[in-house]
Amino acid sequence: MVRQHHDVTLEWPDADRETRTIAVSEDETVLEAAKRADIALPFGCRTGACGTCTGRLLEVDGAEPAAGDDGRSTVGIDGAFSYRRSPRALKDRHRDAGYVLLCIASPRADCRIAVGASVHTELVDNPWK
């Protein structure tokens, strides 16, 4: 059996567009693959409950997002990732807008993701800043 993997490009919006591309197999999460590649990403619970690891999908298989009639992203996040368990930290509107929990998400396509603490703060106010 051939092990399927996808190229996932991680992009840090706060670091002058620093990027790294890693191969992520379909049976591992983006967070696990990043750790294997010696890339530090923020995380907390590893169960999809806290949202610390949130990333924002920027591109799937070369298709950049475009706003639909309702202003939401048209990037197909449900086709881009599968989850090991329910992403409890994300509301439906967050998922519709392209947010993904990297601690429990495994890719199903090549994609580009915005990562880092600033992505999490797009969802919730940080009381510590």
Confidence of residue 23 (pLDDT cuts 50, 70, 90): very high
pLDDT for residue 123:
83
The pLDDT assigned to 65 comes to: 60
Phi and psi, residue 34, nearest 5°? -65, -45
DSSP, collapsed to helix, strand or coil, labels residue 52 as coil
Q: What is the C-alpha end-to-end distance of the chain, expressed in Å?
A: 48
Query: At 113, phi and psi to the nearest 5?
Result: -130, 135
Report yes or no: 79 and 100 within 8 Å, Cβ to Cβ.
no
Section 118-123 average pLDDT: 86
29-83 tens-digit pLDDT? 999 999 999 999 999 999 999 999 999 999 998 777 655 555 545 556 778 899 9
Half-sphere exposure of 118 (CA within 13 A, CB side): 10
Give dist(CA 35, CA 10) in Å, integer.
13
Does residue 87 contact residue 77 with C-beta atoms inside 8 Å? no
Mean pLDDT of 19-37: 96
Per-residue confidence band for 122, with pLDDT thresholds at 50, 70 and 90: confident
Task: Return the pLDDT at 69.
Answer: 55
| DSSP state letter for 2 | P
**86-120 tens-digit pLDDT:** 999 999 999 988 999 999 999 999 999 999 988 98
Cβ–Cβ under 8 Å, residues 107 and 6: yes
Report d(CA 34, CA 56) in Å as an integer. 16
Question: pTM for the full model?
Answer: 0.85
